[in-house]
């Protein structure tokens, strides 16, 4: 009997024993094409020698030093590299161990920012339906995914959830994409008027929504309008790039594709590429200085902050992304993946939408393409696809739809950036077979 808590099944899953490139192998010798990089983590693929060596070298030098006493060379180098490439004046970096920690830090930093300004009334967050921002209680309260939240109510913070920017479902007949983007962003203004802008500390969103919505991209102008609304009301903009950041959409920071600079930005997953558990929160000097000039420091901390070994691994990952020109490759291979998905599923009776950016693609399943009616959630389609794909040697990321019960199940794809053309073909073949088996 395994003593480990199984994640999604009652019984223990197969034992993973090795990884090479885009493939993982289990203890029986079965190979799996990792078409979702786990959960959009393994951007470099598995078994990358450069990253492994960087981590080993760091372990030989200094594995750990507590940030209550020291900073370390790898943490400093990683922060410098991130700031060099981050947009605007995002020039302070807080290194944590993963995405939920990065989001939790972002939420607390926003709260402390308003506190330092003497504004004690701003306790509320506005986020979006069908979002996921992590599993710790603050991040969970922020996420707009009802089934994840249900067991843990009442959650820790006051959060309102507005509709996401969801062209496929929410754009009106005859409305231009630009007009829809503005209308979707204006929902933030409406919600602010409803709850009182003086009670709100931050608006939180993913530039491209990942796990809970299957690579939902924003309409043009959406985030620029969001930025304007936040500025007008003194509300901080927190962008969560835990899944979509680090090159996944074809830019190191996905917000640069929207031409906005948030006040606080969270990254993780691809930052460690699976080689080390690491995340980061970046903030602008304006946010940082408000705290530095107030209490003096951010009232937050974890034992493994700024972990030297994790930082050395992440520095090697970001350097590899940049030095090997992998981010432009994301756009090239992403276009090929999109075309292959369109060719195979574009006319499929039960696939209503194929969307995404770079190597971050989603397919939304519908019972009826014309009415866009989703499948009955009781059918458990997403779970079936995941299980069948796994049996067929494909790791992908299906999830059930949620937005007020009106959106379809979807499949998220986020393969390593090194994916070859023949592996794109293999991915599409295996996914096709798995979807047909699940629908049968």
Q: Which residues bind ligand PLP (CB under 6 A)?
A: 39, 98-100, 103, 132-135, 206, 210-211, 240, 242-243, 268
Nearer to ligand PLP, 156 or 292 (CB): 156
Nearer to ligand PLP, 99 or 164 (CB): 99
The C-alpha atoms of residue 357 and residue 154 are separated, in whole angstroms, by 35
Is residue 163 within 8 Å of residue 148, measured between CB atoms? Answer: no
Least distance (Å) between residue 232 CB and ligand PLP: 26
Least distance (Å) between residue 297 CB and ligand PLP: 24
Least distance (Å) between residue 239 CB and ligand PLP: 10
What distance, in Å, lies between the first and last C-alpha atoms of the chain?
34
Residue 356's H or E segment, with its range, is strand 351-357
Distances (CA, A) of 28 to 8, 67, 434: 21, 42, 21
- Specify the pairing of strand 200-205 against strand 236-240: parallel
Nearer to ligand PLP, 135 or 392 (CB): 135
Least distance (Å) between residue 42 CB and ligand PLP: 13
DSSP structure string for 50-70: HHHHHHHHHHHH-S---TTT-
Nearer to ligand PLP, 100 or 290 (CB): 100
The C-alpha atoms of residue 196 and residue 160 are separated, in whole angstroms, by 12
Which residue from 213, 167, 144 is spatially nearest to 408, judged by alpha carbons?
A: 213
Q: Which residues lie below 8 Å from residue 131, measured CB to CB, with a gap of 6+?
A: 142, 143, 144, 145, 161, 164, 204, 205, 206, 209, 212, 213, 240
Least distance (Å) between residue 197 CB and ligand PLP: 25
Least distance (Å) between residue 201 CB and ligand PLP: 18
Is residue 226 within 8 Å of residue 185, measured between CB atoms? Answer: yes
The C-alpha atoms of residue 225 and residue 235 are separated, in whole angstroms, by 13
Nearer to ligand PLP, 243 or 411 (CB): 243
Reading the block at residue 99, the tokens are 């995405």
Nearer to ligand PLP, 98 or 214 (CB): 98
Region of residue 20 (left: phi > 0; alpha: psi -120 to 50; beta: else) = beta
Q: Which residue is nearest to ligand PLP (CB)?
A: 99
Least distance (Å) between residue 138 CB and ligand PLP: 11
Nearer to ligand PLP, 21 or 398 (CB): 398
Nearer to ligand PLP, 103 or 427 (CB): 103
Distances (CA, A) of 332 to 252, 293, 352, 357: 15, 46, 24, 11
Least distance (Å) between residue 170 CB and ligand PLP: 20
């Amino acid at each position: 009997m395994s003593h480990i808590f199984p994640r999604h099944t009652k019984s223990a899953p197969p034992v993973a024993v090795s990884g090479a490139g885009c493939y993982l192998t289990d203890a029986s010798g079965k190979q799996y094409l990792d078409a979702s990089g786990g959960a959009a983590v393994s951007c470099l693929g598995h078994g990358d020698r450069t990253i492994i060596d960087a981590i080993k070298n760091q372990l030989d030098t200094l594995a750990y030093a507590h940030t209550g006493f020291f900073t370390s060379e790898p943490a400093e180098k990683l922060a410098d590299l991130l700031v060099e490439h981050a947009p605007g004046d995002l020039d302070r970096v807080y290194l944590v161990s993963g995405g939920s920690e990065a989001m939790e830090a972002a939420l607390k930093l926003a709260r402390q920012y308003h506190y330092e300004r003497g504004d004690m009334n701003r306790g509320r967050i506005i986020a979006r339906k069908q979002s996921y921002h992590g599993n710790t209680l603050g991040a969970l309260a922020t996420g707009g995914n009802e089934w994840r939240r249900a067991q843990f109510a009442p959650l820790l913070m006051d959060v309102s959830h507005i509709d996401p920017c969801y062209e496929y479902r929410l754009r009106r007949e005859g409305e231009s994409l630009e007009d829809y983007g503005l209308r979707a962003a204006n929902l933030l203004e409406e919600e602010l008027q409803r709850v009182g802008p003086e009670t709100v500390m931050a608006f939180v969103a993913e530039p491209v929504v990942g796990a809970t919505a299957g690579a939902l991209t924003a309409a043009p102008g959406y985030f620029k309008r969001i930025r304007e609304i936040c500025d007008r009301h003194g509300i901080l903009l927190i962008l969560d790039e835990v899944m979509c950041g680090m090159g996944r959409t074809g830019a190191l920071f996905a917000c640069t594709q929207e031409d906005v600079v948030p006040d606080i930005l969270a990254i993780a997953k691809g930052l460690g590429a699976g080689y080390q558990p690491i995340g980061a929160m970046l903030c602008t000097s304006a946010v940082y200085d408000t705290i530095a000039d107030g209490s003096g420091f951010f009232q937050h901390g974890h034992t493994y902050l700024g972990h030297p070994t994790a930082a050395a691994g992440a520095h090697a990952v970001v350097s590899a992304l940049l030095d090997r020109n992998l981010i432009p490759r994301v756009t090239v291979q992403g276009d090929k993946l999109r075309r292959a998905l369109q060719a195979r599923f574009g006319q499929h009776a039960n696939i209503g939408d194929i969307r995404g950016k770079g190597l971050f693609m989603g397919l939304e399943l519908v019972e009826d393409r014309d009415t866009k009616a989703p499948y009955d959630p009781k059918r458990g389609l997403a779970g079936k696809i995941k299980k069948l794909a796994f049996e067929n040697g494909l790791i992908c990321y299906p999830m059930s739809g949620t937005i007020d019960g009106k959106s379809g199940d979807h499949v998220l794809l986020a393969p390593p950036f090194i994916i070859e053309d023949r592996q794109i073909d293999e991915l599409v073949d295996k996914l096709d077979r798995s979807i047909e088996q699940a629908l049968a």
